[in-house]
């Protein structure tokens, strides 16, 4: 991307962010030809910026009907992006949050998308039911990764869980994973089936009190035959990764891990 293009995108982002400040939850907004029901204006801004303008989930499909697994679908912006890029794609979206899933369902149905299956469940390393903490916006997580008690103002639910490995029974063209700290457990549980995945983007979460598993994830991807690179978003999305660097027990940052199988 040229410097001129980057500056143009930055100016557009600032303009769009300003227009969103007064939008309330439940507002219907336009995004690249879609009408999107939002749960939070700031969340919508970041999703639109990162997904539709920064193209963090871009991949080059090897067939016209790629299979995409979307783990952590939130309000469905990533699914809209995938179907815009590959209209004939098959997408399975997983979203456990009871307060967010209705937005996801409405946005997919309103766009009249075909071959999209939505599953209201958390992607985990086990089947069954687990405790889940919800902020109703974008930071919801399983209790196992979020501590013994939910943060103030969050709600607690018991949600059904599925194992990713059970969906890796055929070639998966793209795996997107944004599951708020459970990424290592899920990938480790699926290691022997990750050979089914051509490309992936995993969001790594470095959160206060959470295990430090970045090195394990990268070692796993190497063992499974993936080339990989790491990206840290930008200052607006991820200020915790920007210089001057600082690491402490309460440090919080996020990284995108892009992986592509070498074979």
- State which fold the 64-261 domain adopts: Rossmann fold (3.40.50)
Q: How open is the CA angle 108-31-10, to the nearest 5 degrees? A: 140
> Using CA atoms, how far apart are residues 233 and 255, in angstroms rounded to an integer?
7
Asked whether the whole model's pTM tops 0.95, one would answer no
Break the chain into its structural domains and give their ranges.
Answer: 64-261
Task: Note the pLDDT of residue 15.
Answer: 59
Q: Note down pLDDT in tens along the chain; length 263 residues.
A: 555 655 554 555 565 666 677 789 999 999 999 999 999 999 999 999 999 999 999 999 999 999 999 999 999 999 999 999 999 999 999 999 999 999 999 999 999 999 999 999 999 999 999 999 999 998 888 888 877 688 888 999 999 999 999 999 999 999 999 999 999 999 999 999 999 999 999 999 998 888 999 999 999 999 999 999 999 999 999 999 999 999 999 999 999 999 999 97
Strand partners, 154: none
Task: Note the pLDDT of residue 229.
Answer: 98
Report the chain's C-alpha Rg in angstroms. 18
Following DSSP, what letter does each residue of 82-115 receive, concatenated? HHHH-TT-EEEEE---TTTHHHHHHHHHHTT-SS
Task: Note the pLDDT of residue 210.
Answer: 87
């Amino acid at each position: 991307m040229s410097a001129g293009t980057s500056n143009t995108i930055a100016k557009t982002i600032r303009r769009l962010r300003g227009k969103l400040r007064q939008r309330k939850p439940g507002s219907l907004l336009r995004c690249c030809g879609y009408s999107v029901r939002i749960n939070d204006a700031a969340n919508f801004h970041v999703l639109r910026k990162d997904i539709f303008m920064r193209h963090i989930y871009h991949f080059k499909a090897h067939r016209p009907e790629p299979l995409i697994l979307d783990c952590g679908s939130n309000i469905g912006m990533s699914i809209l992006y995938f179907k815009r890029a590959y209209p004939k794609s098959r997408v399975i979206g997983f979203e456990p949050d009871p307060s967010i899933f209705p937005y996801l369902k409405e946005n997919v149905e309103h766009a009249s998308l075909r071959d999209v299956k939505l599953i209201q469940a958390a992607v985990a390393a086990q089947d069954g039911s687990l405790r889940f903490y919800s902020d109703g916006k974008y930071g919801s997580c399983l209790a196992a990764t979020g501590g013994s008690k939910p943060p103030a103002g969050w709600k607690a639910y018991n949600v059904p869980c599925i194992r990713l490995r059970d969906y890796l029974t055929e070639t998966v063209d793209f795996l997107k994973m944004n599951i708020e700290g459970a990424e290592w457990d899920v990938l480790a549980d699926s290691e022997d089936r990750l050979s089914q995945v051509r490309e992936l983007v995993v969001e790594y979460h470095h959160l206060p009190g959470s295990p430090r598993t970045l090195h394990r994830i990268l070692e796993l991807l190497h063992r499974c035959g993936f080339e990989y690179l790491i990206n840290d978003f930008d200052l607006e999305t991820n200020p915790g990764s920007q210089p001057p660097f600082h690491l402490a027990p309460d440090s919080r940052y996020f990284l995108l891990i892009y992986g592509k199988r070498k074979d």
